[in-house]
Amino acid sequence: MIIDCHGHFTTTPAKVMGFRSKQIDHFKKTGQTYKEAPPVVTDEEIHSAITDGQLKVMNERGIDLTIFSPRAIGMDHQFGNEESNVIWAVYCNDLIHRVCKMFPKHFVGVCQLPQVTGVKPGKAIFDELDRCINELGFIGANLNPDPSGGMWTDPPFTDKDWWYPLFEKFVAHDIPVMIHVSGSCNPHFNAVATHYINGDTTAFVQFMMSDLFKDFPTLKFLIPHGGGAVPYHWGRFRGLAQELKKPLLKDHLLNNIFFDTCVYHQPGIDLLTKVIPVENILFASEMIGAVRGIDPETGHYFDDTKRYIQSSDILNDDQRYKIYEGNTRRVFPRLDAHLKAKGL
């Protein structure tokens, strides 16, 4: 089985993001929550969006199952207040749930959390997390390390008072968490080219500088986009950890941190698989996502990451199995139980 651990519902009908725009515009003008109900999305609209979008590409590329969450750049934690962001998160998560019910062989859900810049994670986030895991059957969550959208005004992951209550919830639910920023408010940072990679790399360094996994030995994080700049600068981070008197990174972090394969060229995948242990790599493509075009050097889509895994002369078949399926089932225990219940 080939499991894509990183997919977003990027083909929602236009009215979905249109509603978010109304929420944001209303809040900017009035400081109040937009009170109109979200637009109804019919089953037919969802079916069309998926069969003409993600599922079509999955079938073309031989991907069996996608771990699916709301559009990352549309989480928009940098805008609105807690009330409006709860409405938005519930609406988006319910759409994911409907996709998973409609296409149970092909999609399982991961939730968006109603984070708000400047607001400590608390009851609103805990309640939506509980609902998604306990009622909707989701198997994980996405966590924004920078709800301010590139301004980095909230405390880092090293701040126990701010983050530890939420980490306790993740552990209680036995779910892994994908680190994923949203849009950028900083004019220096293009969202998908700079802000995403900044977010991934910054989160890793914050984990490296902390003793988080002494306090939460079973907590697991997935750092997407190939780990940001981490694999390329692995020697730098190993050296910095040594200067900080931390254990070797393989002991300090690699029991708890994992990386996906959303790296859109063969040399990048080769670097990832040379530097990072195969046991810490999960297959992903993030399609239909940030980079949708065809690479003129290869004639294939940039985000067809299965081609890179298949073409690698570094990996053997057992290692490919771990990347495609085995590691993901190990990191996502609720997914493994879900598949075993289906006889898979």
Residue 318 to residue 213: CA distance in whole angstroms = 29
Cβ burial of 174 (10 Å; 0-12, 13-18, 19+) is: middle
Residue 107 to residue 148: CA distance in whole angstroms = 30
Helix, coil or strand: residue 68? strand
Cβ burial of 37 (10 Å; 0-12, 13-18, 19+) is: exposed
Closest alpha carbon to 200 in 268, 144, 158, 250: 144
Residue pLDDT tens, the chain, 344 long: 999 999 999 999 999 999 999 999 999 999 999 999 999 999 999 999 999 999 999 999 999 999 999 999 999 999 999 999 999 999 999 999 999 999 999 999 999 999 999 999 999 999 999 999 999 999 999 999 999 999 999 999 999 999 999 999 999 999 999 999 999 999 999 999 999 999 999 999 999 999 999 999 999 999 999 999 999 999 999 999 999 999 999 999 999 999 999 999 999 999 999 999 999 999 999 999 889 999 999 999 999 999 999 999 999 999 999 999 999 999 999 999 999 999 99
In the DSSP assignment, the letter for residue 24 is H
Closest alpha carbon to 145 in 166, 123, 171: 166
Residue 288 to residue 308: CA distance in whole angstroms = 17
Edge-to-edge strands, sheet with 3-9: 3-9, 65-70, 107-109
Question: What pLDDT does residue 290 have?
Answer: 83
Radius of gyration of the chain (CA): 19
Closest alpha carbon to 182 in 206, 157, 132, 146: 146
DSSP 88-127: HHHHHHHHHHHHHHHSTTTEEE-BPP---TT--S-HHHHH
Cβ burial of 233 (10 Å; 0-12, 13-18, 19+) is: middle
Residue 325 to residue 308: CA distance in whole angstroms = 16
Question: What pLDDT does residue 53 have?
Answer: 96
Please report, for the chain, how many H helices and E strands are present, in that order. Answer: 15, 8
**The model's pTM:** 0.97
**Which single residue is written with the structure tokens 């690699």?**
254
Per the structure block, which two tokens stand in for 22? 């109304």
Q: Is the peptide bond before 288 cis (omega within 30 degrees of 0)?
A: yes
* Residue 297: active-site member: no
Q: Are 154 and 125 in contact (CB under 8 A)?
A: no
Q: Does CATH number 3.50.50.60 belong to domain 3-341?
A: no
